[in-house]
A and B are shown apart, each in its own frame.
Chain A
Amino acid sequence: MDKTLPNLQAAVSSITDDAVLMIGGFGGSGAPIELIHALIDRYKATGSPANLTVINNNAGNGKIGIAAMIDAGMVAKMICSFPRSSDPRAFTDKYLAGEIALELVPQGTLAERIRAAGAGIPAFFTPASYGTELASGKQIQEFDGVSYVLEHWLKADFAIVKGAVGDTHGNLTYRLAARNFNPLMCMAADKTIAQVSKITSPGGIEPEEVVTPGLFVDGVVQVSDSKQEEVLIRTGVEYA
């Protein structure tokens, strides 16, 4: 068993038009920036994958990553908790022009909906959003005198995530707070592709150190000189 993918182009080649795509990271921390840019390259060369629904905590920042996907016109809908950032122009312009859809989800509900999909739990009750406009139209039930909102699992066709070290079985570690949504998204997609700074042979990661077991990961691609999204934004990089 070897889940190693030869390069970024191969890693994003199976992502289809109209797909629901989870993209890991929280802001720039843990964002699979090279996989995103490989996907944009493919779209610009072939017109595919188009009409994507993207799931991420945010909706892009500056002119790289998810913001560059939105600028390129590949994204039909964002599912996120906080579509604002220091430079949210890409999403804001398209949203106010009615050219991109938004499903706004409280952050903890977003995380739990993704986890539930990965865990085979179709729905759950949460106190978050009870009594607010984000609970509008949703089933409410009382438990021990407190009201809760029914939320459904959130599945995806594909997930692209960023790990620190991966092995050929797909076991992953994460760097610092770059873990965030990545392990959850690995569980919740039909097909998960991880970019990592280094791929080792099995045993290269101590079993005690594995955060995402390889069972949740379908492909691993090594990007040894991987950039950090926030660093790119702060140095004024544009991906157009």
Chain B
Amino acid sequence: MTWQKLKNPQIAWRAAQDIQDGAYVNLGIGIPEMVAKFQPEGRHITYHTENGVLGFGAAPGEGDEDWDLINAGKKAITLNPGASFFHHADSFAMVRGGHLDLAVLGAYQIAQNGDLANWRVGSKGVPAVGGAMDLVHGAKRVAVITDHTTKDGKPKLVEQCTFPLTGVACITRVYTSLAVVDIEGGQFILREKLPEMSFDELQSLTGATLHTGGDVGALTPPELS
């Protein structure tokens, strides 16, 4: 059967469905930032950014940017009613102190025990880590949004990461372009997959054994541009 992998906004949409009303959430730079666009109607979610803002909203229109008001990706933001500012140490107290309900990050590789590699792919060039090594610790749930494979088709869900680690046993759920996978007891547990795709085909694109812990749901986000 033919299948088409999800586009990034569709992966973000799926991740957004799991965020409960009232949650405090940090969205990593890049694709994870898209999750905010798909916040389900009727839920109030407060977004945290590492450089000291809680309760920020959408990007301002072009020309309306105030460059003192940015997020951790150095993009201009706006404030929602009830927003607050704080310094960097308080900001990371919110992270490490277990006060955030969810952090969503990008990934180069995720291992079946929950190890994450997302900050560098080798020893060349200028290393830069930002807040990634802090963000993987402390939030009540730490999830990843990623393509299921690399651009050249290699699995990103693996037995053991070969790229330098960001954190050890820190990821609890992975939203990919093909599936939703939980990490429990050192195993990948398949929760949802594209309905057109067979389990065997998904397994062949995954670098470690996929376990099933009951029914596997259909991953069917709406068409999104």
Contact = CB atoms under 8 A, between A and B. Distances in A.
A binds B: yes
Interface of A: 26-30, 57, 81-86, 88, 91-92, 95-96, 102, 104-112, 114-115, 126-134, 147, 174-184, 211, 228-231, 234
B128 A104 contact: yes
Nearest to A107: B131
B96 A29 contact: no
Interface in B147-170: 164-168
Interface in B44-80: 50-53, 66-70, 74
B101 interface: no
B82 to A, nearest CB: 15
Contacts of B137: 127-128, 130
B68 A29 contact: yes
Contacts of A104: 127-129
B128 A84 contact: yes
Given A26-B51, A95-B126, A179 B87 contact: yes
A130 B70 CA distance: 29
Nearest to B168: A131
B48 to A, nearest CB: 12
B129 A182 contact: no
B119 to A, nearest CB: 8
Listed from nearest, the 6 A-B pairs whose CB atoms lie closest are A108-B92, A108-B134, A131-B168, A230-B67, A111-B88, A127-B137
Contacts, number: 143
A82 B92 contact: no
A127 B164 CA distance: 17
14 contacts: A26-B52, A29-B68, A81-B129, A104-B127, A107-B88, A108-B95, A110-B88, A111-B87, A111-B88, A127-B137, A132-B165, A132-B166, A176-B69, A179-B86
A169 B129 CA distance: 37
B68 A178 contact: yes
A105 to B, nearest CB: 8
A127 B138 contact: yes
Contacts of A110: 88
Contact of A111 (B53, B89, B167): B89
Interface string B109-138: 000000100000000011111111110011
B38 interface: no
Given A104-B129, A111-B91, A179-B87, 20 more contacts: A30-B68, A83-B126, A96-B126, A105-B129, A106-B134, A108-B95, A108-B131, A109-B134, A110-B88, A112-B92, A131-B115, A131-B165, A134-B133, A176-B69, A177-B52, A179-B85, A180-B88, A181-B87, A184-B89, A230-B74
